[in-house]
């Protein structure tokens, strides 16, 4: 009897302790939100909703708007997805389905190593290697021959929205790649064999089985990559050009939300500081919205996929 009640007490303590830890996490999230909100009140009062649609960022006259930063964050992140998703899904299919066994291990190890590189290293590599290559090998010829398309309009300097997008793509490939590989590995061998036994080619096998089975998982991997791209700070600020303006051309400079906070926070005061905190709050809301939207879409997809099978 005594031993039993001792066990119950232990369980009670364990339950309360774990509940406490869980509430700490919740409390931190609420606190974070509350502090961001409190510090951004002066900017909210002054600019209100116009903060979202104003394109000026003038610390001297104290006129602030978040539009160029929102634009820069979204465009560079989606550009990164546009490049990274086909590349990583293609690579994942190759590694899982076609690559000879001796190649699998080194390729996946290298991909994981890419994920371990600190972002400032990516940024430096971006400045010294990627930007000159893009500038001389891609942007200059494109401007020369296709400069009449607004997207490719010059002048070409190097640091640009395109450079930020490409660098971000390289940074998120390891994440999308490894999650996609996990997803592909969950396809039952029997299903694949079933398609092949019916006379399907490997391409048809991949199209049918993966299309049926893996779209939700790959979408989840994409959202993971997007989350990382939205918040990336150091690498982006080093190659994006840090110019708070909106250009149609990918070859022109931009600015991102995380980058302007990192750049100006240390020396800011008053309304500028408050505006930077407000940008932080917006970034937090943006990632929340993206995550919730993704979760909603994901559950729909999962439902559809399971119905399909």
Partner 1 sequence: MKRISGTSKALIAAVALSLAVISGASAEPLMMNGAGATFPYPLYSKWFYEYSNANPGVKFNYQSIGSGGGIKQITTGTVDFGATDAPMSEEEMGKLPGAILHIPTAIGAVVVVYNLDKVESGLKLTPDLLAGIFLGKITRWNDPKIAELNKTVTLPNADIVVAHRSDGSGTTDIFTNYLAAVNTEWRAKIGHGKSVNWPVGLGGKGNEGVAGVVKQTPGALGYVELAYAKQNKMKVAALRNKEGNFVSPTLEATSAAAAGVAKSMPDDFRVSLVDAPGKESWPISGLTWILVYKDQKNEARGKAMVQFLKWAVKDGQKMEAALDYAALPKAVADKVDKALRQITSKGKSLY
State which residue, 212 or 263, has the beta carbon closest to partner 1: 263
CB of 55 to partner 1, least distance (A): 11
Contact 98, 251 (CB under 8 A): no
Is 269 one of the binding residues for partner 1 (CB under 8 A)? Answer: yes
Within residues 209-238, the interface with partner 1 by CB under 8 A covers 237-238
Kindly indicate which of the ranges 12-20, 25-33, 50-58, 66-74 contains the residues binding partner 1, using the contact rule CB under 8 A.
50-58
Is 246 one of the binding residues for partner 1 (CB under 8 A)? Answer: no
State which residue, 159 or 217, has the beta carbon closest to partner 1: 159
State which residue, 222 or 249, has the beta carbon closest to partner 1: 249
Is 144 one of the binding residues for partner 1 (CB under 8 A)? Answer: no
Is 158 one of the binding residues for partner 1 (CB under 8 A)? Answer: yes
Q: Which of 115, 194, 268, 302 binds partner 1 (CB under 8 A)?
A: 268
Angle between helices 270-308 and 215-231 (to 10 degrees): 170
**CA atoms of 257 and 279, how far apart (whole Å):** 6
Contact 96, 181 (CB under 8 A): yes
State which residue, 178 or 233, has the beta carbon closest to partner 1: 233
Nearest to 157 by CA among 235, 251, 33: 251
Is 51 one of the binding residues for partner 1 (CB under 8 A)? Answer: no
CB of 279 to partner 1, least distance (A): 14
Residues 6+ apart with CB under 8 A from 294: 219, 220, 223, 226
Contact 219, 301 (CB under 8 A): yes
Is 243 one of the binding residues for partner 1 (CB under 8 A)? Answer: yes
Is 127 one of the binding residues for partner 1 (CB under 8 A)? Answer: yes
State which residue, 56 or 306, has the beta carbon closest to partner 1: 56
Residues that bind partner 1 (CB under 8 A): 56-61, 127-128, 131-132, 155, 157-159, 237-238, 241-244, 253, 255, 259, 262-264, 266-269, 272
């Amino acid at each position: 009897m005594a031993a039993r009640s001792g066990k119950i007490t232990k369980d009670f303590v364990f339950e309360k302790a774990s509940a406490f830890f869980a509430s700490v996490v919740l409390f931190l999230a609420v606190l974070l939100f509350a502090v961001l909100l409190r510090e951004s009140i002066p900017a909210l009062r002054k600019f209100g909703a116009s903060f979202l649609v104003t394109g000026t960022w003038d610390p001297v006259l104290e006129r602030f708007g978040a539009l160029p930063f929102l634009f820069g964050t979204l465009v560079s992140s989606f550009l990164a997805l546009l490049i990274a998703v086909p590349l990583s899904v293609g690579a994942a299919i190759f590694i899982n389905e076609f690559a000879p066994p001796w190649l699998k291990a080194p390729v996946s190890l290298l991909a994981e190593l890419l994920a371990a590189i600190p972002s400032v290293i990516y940024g430096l590599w971006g400045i010294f290697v990627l930007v000159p290559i893009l500038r001389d090998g891609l942007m200059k010829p494109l401007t020369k021959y296709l400069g009449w398309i607004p997207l490719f309009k010059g002048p070409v300097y190097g640091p640009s929205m395109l450079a930020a997008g490409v660098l971000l793509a390289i940074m998120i490939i390891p994440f999308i790649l490894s999650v996609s590989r996990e997803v592909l590995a969950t396809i039952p061998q029997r299903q694949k064999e079933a398609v092949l036994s019916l006379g399907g080619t490997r391409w048809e096998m991949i199209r049918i089985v993966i299309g049926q089975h893996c779209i939700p998982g790959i979408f989840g991997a994409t959202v993971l990559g997007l989350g990382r791209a939205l918040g990336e700070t150091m690498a982006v600020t080093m190659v994006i050009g840090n110019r708070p303006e909106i250009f149609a051309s990918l070859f022109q400079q931009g600015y991102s939300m995380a980058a302007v906070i990192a750049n100006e926070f240390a020396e800011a005061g008053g309304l500028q500081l408050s505006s930077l905190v407000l940008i932080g709050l917006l970034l937090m809301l943006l990632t929340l919205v993206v995550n919730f939207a993704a979760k909603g879409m994901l559950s729909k997809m999962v439902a559809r996929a399971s119905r399909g099978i």
